[in-house]
Structure 1
Amino acid sequence: MAAPSRQAVRLLVNPVVRGREYLTELPGPFIFVANHPSELDAPLVSQVLQGVVRRVVSVSAAPETGLRAAAVKSLGLRTTRTLTSMLAHGGSLLLFAENYRADDGTLTEFNLGAARLGIQTGVQIVPVTLVGTYRALPPWRRLPETSRPKVSVIFGRPIQAAPGSEPSAVNDQIVKAITLGLAEAEAGWYGALRAEAEGTFAAVAGSSAGSSTGDVGDSARWQRIWKATAPDKSTRRTVWVK
């Protein structure tokens, strides 16, 4: 299924954006790294960045069909050299760095490519947490639910990777920031802060995102799908607001 256009996303969902002020404090370009639960993700992030970032091209590490795969093929964005050149000319990248996409919207293992690119180029890496996009448009639907569901786009603090940094360490920072946003969606503002302090927020986020590590039975997987697509009436506070 082709992803909705950036213009269509504005009519299909009700986005709540947090942390965008981080981007106004820096000149750019940026390497945005996001989780990838839905076909809404790329046009949604592009839409909320309109007027803030000059140009954004999305690239997915996972092989797939649709908008991102077509963009990768047509623009020739398969090599680090091309990506580096684009950043050098002021363009920003939106990278979906998960090695594969889970069919229940869960967070999967991240490719080290985004971390390596940030180290090599010195471009700021911005973690992006997407919450509610899987609920709004799971893979078996052609259009989101008609009520313009609320979705959240949470920009974390930019990460400056120093030359010579270990890619796995930078990648851990990216995943931690995205996981914190997912933990907040499950446990709320105070719960996310407490879980982070106790070192348990990954487990809290896993109950929201649905940890995809290890073998699980079909029953457990469908329970996660059911929970992830249930209507969300939460109005909790956020840890990301200054």
Structure 2
Amino acid sequence: MPRLALRLAVTPAVHGLEHVTESDGPFIFVANHPSALDEALVRDALRGVTTRLVSVAVEPRAGIRGLVDHAFSLRSASRLGTLLKSGTSVLLFAEKNRTDDGSLAPLDLGAAALGIRTGVPLVPVSLLGTFRALPPWRTTVEPGRPRVSVLFSRPIRAGSGDELSTVTDELAQAISTGLAEESRGWYGALRSQADGAAPAGSDGQPEAGWRRMWKATATPTGPDRRRVWQ
């Protein structure tokens, strides 16, 4: 999506960009992927920060983009390593599958493996509000320029002695903390990170899928809350 069209469609906010600008790249950005808006939002957020960025989804993309990925072997770990070595950052949508309510699905181990292999910092990215603005079953963005957010967490530096599962868990926890802030507030997000808690309803029990979907597509009210990364 072109930048102007994106800005006319949604009201984006970017947080935590200092975690990227305070050190030189390249970076491996690892994000959740609930909507077709996600890639354009991250690219727009990183505009002026990194001039070279390649995006790859664990799920093969259909159509022209899928053919391009295949032709240039962008899903190849060795190819990605070469790109990183040349100074090109990589945006990985690392979820193994898509959920029907926009919640975070389990992450593929490939992102952690790439970080361990190359030593390039892994930057967790949480995308909030994009599922509500443009869920998979819609072709147009919700009217009214809905608010969406891109949250960059502190980079995770993985080395040869790190376990794939441990690094993957760190990535998932960082992304989940950013996502929890939208529903629980900044303090609740910190508590959920400390407790390792899964998303739950007001009674402390895991929420039903229909309720999670309803919340994910509900229009937010009130001013923006204090952000956990500030």
TM-score by length of 1: 0.86
Partner deviation per Cα, 1:120-153 (whole Å, 9 max, x = no partner): 0010100000010000001121121121111010
RMSD between aligned residues: 2.1
Which of 193, 202, 218 is residue 196 of structure 1 equivalent to? 193
Quote how far apart the aligned CAs of 1:62 are.
1.5
Q: Which runs of 5+ in 1 are unaligned?
A: 208-212
Which of 92, 99, 108 is residue 102 of structure 1 equivalent to? 99
Separation in structure 1 between the aligned mates of residue 130 and residue 49 of structure 2, nearest angstrom: 22
Structure-1 residue corresponding to 2:229: 240
Quote how far apart the aligned CAs of 1:196 are.
2.8
Aligned letter for 1:30?
A: F
Aligned letter for 1:92?
A: S
Aligned letter for 1:237?
A: R
Structure-2 residue corresponding to 1:210: none
Which of 206, 214, 226 is residue 226 of structure 1 equivalent to? 214
Is the contact made by 2:173 and 2:193 (CA closer than 8 Å) also made in structure 1?
no
3-state SS of paired residue (1:203):
coil
Separation in structure 2 between the aligned mates of residue 194 and residue 89 of structure 1, nearest angstrom: 40
Separation in structure 1 between the aligned mates of residue 27 and residue 33 of structure 2, nearest angstrom: 18
Separation in structure 2 between the aligned mates of residue 102 and residue 178 of structure 1, nearest angstrom: 15
Structure-1 residue corresponding to 2:50: 53
Is the contact made by 1:57 and 1:92 (CA closer than 8 Å) also made in structure 2?
yes
Q: Tell me: CA distance 1:93–1:163, structure 2 relative to 1, closer, same or farther (3 Å).
A: same
Aligned pair count reads 226
For residues 155-234 of structure 1, the aligned pairs below 5 Å read 155-197=152-194, 199-200=195-196, 202-204=197-199, 220-234=208-222
Is the contact made by 1:34 and 1:178 (CA closer than 8 Å) also made in structure 2?
yes
Quote how far apart the aligned CAs of 1:74 are.
4.1
Partner deviation per Cα, 1:12-64 (whole Å, 9 max, x = no partner): 11111100011111110000000010000011101111101121111000134
For the pair 1:44 / 2:41, whether they are aligned, the reply is yes
3-state SS of paired residue (1:15):
strand
TM-score by length of 2: 0.91
Percent of pairs identical after alignment?
53
Separation in structure 1 between the aligned mates of residue 103 and residue 28 of structure 2, nearest angstrom: 22
Structure-2 residue corresponding to 1:91: 88
Q: Which runs of 5+ in 2 are unaligned?
A: none
Is the contact made by 1:63 and 1:100 (CA closer than 8 Å) also made in structure 2?
no
Aligned letter for 1:69?
A: G
